[in-house]
Chain A
Amino acid sequence: MNPDHDRYLLAAFLPEDDRRALERDAEGDDAAREMVRASHELRAFIGEAEALRADAGSAPALAFLAAARLVSGRTDGAWDDLLERLERRLDDRPGARVTYDRLAARIRELEAASDAEAHFRRISGSDPPRIHRLRPLFAAAAVLLAVALTGVLGRALEDPVARAAHRSLVRSSRSTFRGTVTGDAAPYARAAAGRHVVLGLWPVYDRDLLASVQREIADPDSAAGWLLAGQLRLMLGDHDGARFALEQAREGGLEREASGLLELIPDGD
């Protein structure tokens, strides 16, 4: 992607006047026009997802929301959070809430009167696939084997970039405590505790703790803050985010420490 043409990708997301101006600017430049076209495709796709929310008050959309809340299978947190938020919005619209509850009750009633698994078995002629669980004996053996292997290999398998980021973070922490780098020492201390070594064998990264420090320092306003953000992102395996943060730190004056980490990020990440 040509960085000079990046701005055209934003065309469809801009207010009408700005969009038209950018589109006029793209005329006669095939690459720019291609970016404008891609922008509209992206906007249309994202708009379709928006339309599900916009329709959330209509009876069919309420029925869909009720069905999706009750039947979505194995989902990740983001999907469940979104549906829950859509459902919560109904509390401000009593009419829609009543309709939604009625539709959800109807779906439960239909499902209660029918055995979905037996029906599936009958029409497909096969049993539904099972979720494989290890038998207890095998499970115990697997755990022992895993313990032995991770004990031996734990350090060897540790992500060297994350390890280097932690070392760098500890160094930054010392500089901050000594006052050679300005900044609040508390996030460093917490982030440094985000890696510990169990029984001297297994390096463990506390992702929740690291993520919480990251949220705390979101969008830093100093080179030291960007360096810390970069170190945290490397420990969390977010190489793209780390590169961005470390470049800010380097531009902000912490060239040596930031460049050292940037060099460790694998190409193509």
Chain B
Amino acid sequence: MHHPELLGIDRLARRLPFALDAVDEAGAAFARWRRTGKKRDLAPVELWTYCYIRRYFLVRFAREPSFGVSELEDVVERAFRRVEEGRSALRSPERYARWTTVVCRRTYLNFVSRRRELTPVDRIAEPEADDPSAETLHDRAGTLHVLLAAVARLPSFLQPYARMRFVEGLEYEEIAERTGRPVATVRAYAHKAVLRFRSDGRFMRHVRERAGYESGPGGS
């Protein structure tokens, strides 16, 4: 196992008051800036936007050895400018993170398409059929972050069971084996956790937002 050292981009991201994948906090920071218009409130929005975009493209560039670092900086800047220009029209500030990933995707597709025009056809790799897209992965990471936060708000006796069941995806029998508790107890605790999730307003806001988003756009 490697032990990750701090990269320049991570040092930068650590100046944010919240984690890079804390999408609700990013949305709240954006909403605050929109409300106040103060430069002080813009600073975390700018920094989050930059770091999030840059990591998005690191995920993309990691698999493309022929893409250079000057192209990375160029495409990050393009996406950053597009976000800067378009965000004032965003109707639902809490969707800022999700919308940013959409901008990244479009910027990336434009970048690849421009690049292809300059690349001989026989050197263009065939796309993989079952690729989960980078933006899907970013969305899922945001979801996972929201879920972890909801688990942390559960009463402490429920937390390990909820984490194993819903975050790690273990079966009731596996959890019973790990904790030494009967399967029925594990099942009862997991069910209690679901009931608690339902009464957690912050968590349910994300759940409903996601359900609405899947059934049709309308916020951005």
Show the binding face of A for B, using Cβ within 8 Å: 1, 6, 9-10, 13, 38-39, 41-42, 44-46, 48-55, 58-61, 63-64, 66-76, 78-79, 82, 84-85, 87-88, 91, 101, 103-104, 106-108, 110-117, 119-120, 123-124, 126, 128-131, 211, 214, 218-219, 229, 233, 236, 238, 240-241, 244-245
CB of A110 within 8 A of CB of B58, answer yes
CB of A117 within 8 A of CB of B11, answer yes
CB of A74 within 8 A of CB of B14, answer yes
List the A residue with the shortest CB-CB distance to B179: A218
Query: A41 to B212, alpha carbons, bound, how many Å?
Result: 10
List the B residue with the shortest CB-CB distance to A111: B7
Query: A235 to B220, alpha carbons, bound, how many Å?
Result: 45
List the B residue with the shortest CB-CB distance to A125: B46
Show the binding face of B for A, using Cβ within 8 Å: 1-2, 4, 7-21, 43-44, 46-47, 50-51, 54-55, 58-63, 65, 69, 72-73, 76-77, 80-81, 128, 130-134, 137-141, 143-145, 147-148, 151-152, 155-158, 163, 166-169, 179, 181, 185, 190-191, 194-199, 206-208, 210-211, 214
Residues of chain A with a CB closer than 8 A to B133's CB? 60
Sample 14 A-B pairs with CB under 8 A, ordered by A number: A39-B194, A45-B206, A52-B137, A52-B144, A55-B132, A61-B132, A72-B13, A79-B148, A84-B1, A106-B62, A116-B8, A124-B50, A129-B44, A240-B155
CB of A114 within 8 A of CB of B194, answer no
Contacts known (A61-B137, A241-B155); A49 close to B15, Cβ less than 8 A: no
CB of B140 within 8 A of CB of A75, answer no
Shortest Cβ distance from residue B163 to the other chain A in the assembled complex, whole angstroms? 7
Residues of chain B with a CB closer than 8 A to A101's CB? 2
User: Which residue of the partner chain, among B46, B134, B166, contacts A64 with CB atoms under 8 Å?
Assistant: B134
Secondary structure at chain B's binding surface: helix, strand, loop or mixed?
helix
CB of B72 within 8 A of CB of A238, answer no
CB of A82 within 8 A of CB of B167, answer yes
Question: Apart from A1-B198, A129-B47, what 5 extra A-B contacts exist at CB < 8 Å?
Answer: A41-B210, A63-B134, A74-B18, A75-B19, A219-B181
Shortest Cβ distance from residue B26 to the other chain A in the assembled complex, whole angstroms? 10
CB of B157 within 8 A of CB of A245, answer yes
Contacts known (A70-B4, A72-B19); A42 close to B12, Cβ less than 8 A: no
Shortest Cβ distance from residue B62 to the other chain A in the assembled complex, whole angstroms? 4
CB of B20 within 8 A of CB of A71, answer yes
CB of B194 within 8 A of CB of A126, answer no
Shortest Cβ distance from residue B139 to the other chain A in the assembled complex, whole angstroms? 7
Shortest Cβ distance from residue B32 to the other chain A in the assembled complex, whole angstroms? 14
Query: A115 to B14, alpha carbons, bound, how many Å?
Result: 15
Query: A115 to B162, alpha carbons, bound, how many Å?
Result: 41
CB of B54 within 8 A of CB of A116, answer yes
CB of B195 within 8 A of CB of A6, answer yes
Query: A61 to B137, alpha carbons, bound, how many Å?
Result: 7
CB of B141 within 8 A of CB of A91, answer no
User: Which residue of the partner chain, among A48, A69, A79, A88, contacts B21 with CB atoms under 8 Å?
Assistant: A79
CB of A126 within 8 A of CB of B46, answer yes
CB of A214 within 8 A of CB of B7, answer no
CB of A110 within 8 A of CB of B185, answer no
Residues of chain B with a CB closer than 8 A to A245's CB? 157
List the B residue with the shortest CB-CB distance to A75: B19
Residues of chain B with a CB closer than 8 A to A63's CB? 59-60, 62-63, 134
Residues of chain B with a CB closer than 8 A to A115's CB? 8
Shortest Cβ distance from residue B60 to the other chain A in the assembled complex, whole angstroms? 8
Query: A218 to B155, alpha carbons, bound, how many Å?
Result: 12
User: Which residue of the partner chain, among B47, B59, B130, B166, contacts A49 with CB atoms under 8 Å?
Assistant: B166
